[in-house]
Amino acid sequence: MDLSIPEDYQVRLQPTRVAGSYPLVRLEFTGATVDAPLMTQIARKYNIDVSILSSDLDYAGGVKFGMMVAEIFGNADDDEAAIRYLRENNVKVEVLGYVL
């Protein structure tokens, strides 16, 4: 599975967070995390919005797994708390950068 970053996002991507930018993340779900409503949970728990840019779900060897590229909209503390929550719930999170 390869979910590339849309070109219009690539040109606005910054390596560090600056005022008015939001994290762009690649998420990898496996096992039970594939079916868990984690995106809704972080939106409610941390008062953030999530914009899903692309996603894919597949099976390999009878195991379901998925990937997603999403932008997280919230203040810096809430964004970081949401990312931490995902990691604590066995989601692999890669911060690709920060979109202006």
Q: What is the pTM of this model?
A: 0.91
Whether 32 has a pLDDT exceeding 90, the answer reads no
Helix axes 38-46, 76-88, angle to 10 degrees: 140
Domains in the chain, ordered, with CATH? 7-99 (3.30.70.260)
Write down the pLDDT at residue 86: 98
Confidence of residue 1 (pLDDT cuts 50, 70, 90): low
Distance in angstroms (rounded) separating the CA atoms of residues 35 and 30: 9
Give mean pLDDT, residues 30-40: 92
Helices (DSSP H) in the chain: which residue ranges? 7-10, 38-46, 76-88
Give the count of beta carbons closer than 10 Å to the beta carbon of residue 14. Answer: 12
Confidence of residue 2 (pLDDT cuts 50, 70, 90): low
Write down the pLDDT at residue 31: 86
Whether 20 has a pLDDT exceeding 90, the answer reads yes
Mean of the per-residue pLDDT values of the chain: 94
Whether 61 has a pLDDT exceeding 90, the answer reads no
